[in-house]
Chain A
Amino acid sequence: MTSALPASVPETLALLNAGGYVADQSLATALHLALALKRPLFLEGEAGVGKTEIAKVLSETLGRELIRLQCYEGLDISSAVYEWNYPRQMLEIRLAEAAGGADRLALAADLFSDAFLIERPLLHALKANLAGAPVLLIDELDRTDEPFEAYLLEVLSDYQVTIPEIGTIKAETAPIVIITSNRTREIHDALKRRCFYYWVDYPSADREMEILRIKAPNAPEALSRQVVGFVQKIREMDLFKQPGVAETIDWVHALVQLDHLALDPAAVENTLGVLLKYQDDIAKIQGSEANRLLTELRTEMSMSGEA
């Protein structure tokens, strides 16, 4: 099931496309470099532009295991890397006592051995895997705090973890590491330096159309085209949160669900909450502004249709 890593940029592009991810050349190049030079790929971008999806598609198309570490504030070693199995350790001590005259040195060595170690995502990703090096997704790194980021430095540069009681565990084959960030906090340069950086931007109209064809195949072509045109126009406006690709897809699904075959003012009015998630933004678009955008869109479309 495992496939080999792509050998060139076009192959990487084809790989992503095969997994249903519409990528462009810039992303494929960054990804290819990360794969070929065994460095983490650091993806930054607004929410809902498809950062996490890249890791998922990669694990699927390469047939590798996807190990996901969702970051949150206060994430610590015991939930990210490893933990000792304390109840078992205590039980072991009791058993040794019951057996009587146990060799204490042996017991001490025994208690902190592999058998009592609980693997968490990072350690698991470093362990040998039959399906080949796994894809390690460190999601929303900006949500955790600086101490954890500092801890990641060792993991990401040498692919190793140091456990004081056992020693250093080093990965035989480096996992494919994808790190994503929403930029709610700046990630330190020391960590970025170890990665290849890629800013995931909002897609162009053509690319977004292609994405809709794959992600919402049951939507009529005309509707998708209008939705993409409308969303692209909205992204040019001064909004607090511009809609991402995920919102576009949701919106098309919502419109299809409500049996709308084309965008009209009423349809926009009723479903705007799917696209925009801040009241100020909705108030700005709702009503006359939406109508203006729709008319603009219609004239543009009819003109390009004639041409």
Chain B
Amino acid sequence: MNELSPQPLQDGDSGRLLDNILFFARVLRAAGLPVGPGKVIDAIHAVEVVGITNREVFYWALHAVFVNRRDQREVFDQAFHIFWRNPKLLERMMQMVLPSFRTGEAGKPEKQINRRVADALTQRDGEKDDPDETADEEELQFDAAMTYSGAEVLRGMDFEKMSAEEINQAHAVIARMRLPVMDLPTRRFTPSPRGPRMDLRASLRASMRGGGDTIPIRLKQPRRRLPPLVTLCDISGSMSRYSRMLLHFMHTLSNDRLRVHTFLFGTRLTNVTRYLRHRDVDEALDSASAAVEDWSGGTRIGECLHTFNRDWSRRVLGQGAVVLLISDGLDRDAGEGLGEEMQRLHGSCRRLIWLNPLLRFEGFAPKSLGVRAILPHVDEFRSVHSLNNLRELADALGASSGPDATMMAGWKEKLQAVEAAEID
């Protein structure tokens, strides 16, 4: 302990306090807060500065060190009160933190503890069985007759009709996909031999290098940069087969470029951005699906978009973001309130692309209420049921030209036709 603190508090009691701060940091780390050794040292310094006379001051001192984001406050608060109030509970917690001391009664205090804190401490081994896993196996047997495959066939094949092995191959293809760059000019500059502006600093340095007799002109041009990409993916029952495949696609995107935000929604919205940043695709998808509680349930698109608009749009849609909305538009709330939310979403991003797997059907017409509410507010409407579509999408994201206007006009005509037919 003394090594951690350059000026250790003197008597035995303070030694206990330092130990406790260390253990407290471990509890927080187990609960998912990013607490490193540096933070522990900071915490000890902080406590040395404010003293331990006032409980509230002590709380806020530790809070200032350990909490980095607003959503960590709850966990910290719970952990603090459990840890620093009830020494018996503390002992039990420590037993849980240190695996060698783990006993059968470890589950006891769970009720009082925040679920996340408790989960982190008990580290339940028997994770919920993934219902889709068994579904995959059934599929495997069912698809066994279709033994032919090959990249060409695979590319045009509907995700829904793929066998488990073909899915694996498709995953490999997706992992190799690279998005071409759709970049935007920024207000920064980069040196360029044919740039439109003079780079005075570079010119003068070049001049000095040559002895100052001449000033060779160096030029610069605006630097270009990728806009943020925000994906909102429907994971309701009707979308389940596609959304798994699309998660792979999103994982590839997340690792390919900076500033990709991914949200999943069914009946509620979940931000899985951090999970998808894992390099390892299986680990990333596992942790993402563990974070989601509404896999393959119903859909409440309007409600989820409302949550997104209220809580997230201001945080992730800055700096010219492109939004990918992946959904079949089948809404449990029958499109209620969806139009307004779509309008707001459309208004706060640079480009809104709707990906709908139902488009694979030849005669798809915008008949359902959800589809009719969404369609007027999107810049582009595309299909995502096969690898070819994903490739097209990659191209579309790379195209610096605007969306395909004629295609959208066609869809809007269809929408009007459907509405006119309804009135008659």
CB nearest neighbor in B for A142: B318
Interface code A25-37, partner B: CB below 8 Å = 1, 0 otherwise? 1100110111011
Give the distance in Å from the alpha carbon of A192 to the alpha carbon of B201 in the complex.
Answer: 32
Partner of B70, one of A32, A44, A146: A44
| Interface pair B50/A9, CB less than 8 Å apart | yes
| Interface pair B57/A183, CB less than 8 Å apart | no
| Interface pair A193/B212, CB less than 8 Å apart | no
Min distance, Cβ B337 to any Cβ of chain A, angstroms = 11
Partner of A26, one of B50, B63, B186, B205: B63
**Main SS class of interface, B:** helix
B285-342 interface (Cβ within 8 A of A) = 309-310, 314-316, 318-319, 340
- Residues from chain A with Cβ under 8 Å of B200 in the complex: 84, 86
Interface-side segment among A88-96, A207-215, A219-227, A243-251: A88-96
Q: Within 8 Å of chain A (Cβ to Cβ): is B217?
A: no
Min distance, Cβ A106 to any Cβ of chain B, angstroms = 11
Interface code A55-87, partner B: CB below 8 Å = 1, 0 otherwise? 000000000000000000110101000001010
Partner of B49, one of A36, A145, A165: A36
| Interface pair A111/B50, CB less than 8 Å apart | no
Min distance, Cβ A221 to any Cβ of chain B, angstroms = 30
Give the distance in Å from the alpha carbon of A146 to the alpha carbon of B223 in the complex.
Answer: 14
CB nearest neighbor in B for A278: B344
Interface code A1-40, partner B: CB below 8 Å = 1, 0 otherwise? 0000000110000000000000001100110111011000
Q: Within 8 Å of chain B (Cβ to Cβ): is A202?
A: no
Interface size of B by Cβ–Cβ distance < 8 Å? 45
| Interface pair A74/B50, CB less than 8 Å apart | no
Min distance, Cβ B73 to any Cβ of chain A, angstroms = 7
Partner of A193, one of B45, B68, B208, B318: B68
26 contacts between A and B (CB under 8 A): A9-B54, A9-B57, A25-B56, A26-B63, A32-B50, A33-B49, A37-B42, A37-B45, A73-B186, A74-B186, A74-B187, A74-B188, A93-B207, A93-B212, A111-B204, A145-B188, A145-B225, A146-B258, A184-B314, A184-B318, A185-B318, A186-B315, A199-B70, A238-B310, A240-B344, A280-B344
Q: Which 6 A-B pairs have the closest CB atoms?
A: A74-B187, A29-B60, A86-B200, A196-B64, A184-B318, A30-B64
Starting from the known contacts A96-B212, A184-B318, A186-B315, 17 additional A-B residue pairs (CB-CB under 8 Å) come to: A8-B50, A29-B50, A29-B56, A29-B60, A30-B60, A34-B64, A74-B187, A74-B188, A76-B187, A90-B204, A104-B212, A185-B315, A185-B316, A189-B68, A193-B39, A199-B70, A238-B310
